[in-house]
A = this chain, B = another copy of it.
Amino acid sequence: MPYDPAAFPPFAVTVDLVVLTVRRHALCALAVRRGEPPFQGRWALPGGFVRADEDLTAAAARELAEETGLLAHDPAVPAPPNAAHLEQLATYGDPKRDPRMRVVSVAHLALAPDLPAPRPGGDAHSVRWAPVESLLDQDGTFSRDAEQAAPLAFDHARILADGVERARSKIEYSSLATAFCPQEFTVGELRRVYEAVWGVALDPRNFHRKVTGTPGFLVPTGGTTTRQGGRPAQLFRAGGATLLNPPMLRPEV
Chain A interface (Cβ < 8 Å from any Cβ of B): 1-3, 5, 8-13, 35-36, 48-56, 88, 90-95, 100-102, 104, 106, 121-122, 245, 252
**Distance between A151 CB and nearest chain B CB, rounded to angstroms:** 21
- Whether the pair B93, A8 counts as a contact (CB closer than 8 A) is no
Rounded to whole angstroms, the CA-CA distance of A53 and B10 in the bound complex is 11
Report if A1-B56 is in contact (Cβ < 8 Å); known contacts: A12-B11, A91-B91.
Answer: no
Stoichiometry, copies per complex: 2
**Distance between A246 CB and nearest chain B CB, rounded to angstroms:** 9
- Whether the pair A104, B101 counts as a contact (CB closer than 8 A) is no
Rounded to whole angstroms, the CA-CA distance of A106 and B88 in the bound complex is 12
- Whether the pair A50, B9 counts as a contact (CB closer than 8 A) is yes
**Distance between A31 CB and nearest chain B CB, rounded to angstroms:** 14
Q: List 26 A-B contacts (CB under 8 A).
A: A1-B121, A1-B122, A2-B36, A5-B100, A5-B101, A8-B12, A8-B13, A9-B12, A9-B49, A9-B51, A9-B52, A10-B11, A11-B50, A13-B13, A50-B93, A53-B102, A54-B95, A55-B94, A56-B92, A56-B93, A56-B94, A56-B104, A88-B91, A91-B106, A104-B104, A245-B252
Rounded to whole angstroms, the CA-CA distance of A8 and B51 in the bound complex is 8
Q: Chain B contacts of A53 at CB under 8 A?
A: 95, 102
**Distance between A248 CB and nearest chain B CB, rounded to angstroms:** 13
By beta carbon, the residue of chain B nearest A169 is: B173
Q: Chain B contacts of A49 at CB under 8 A?
A: 3, 8-9
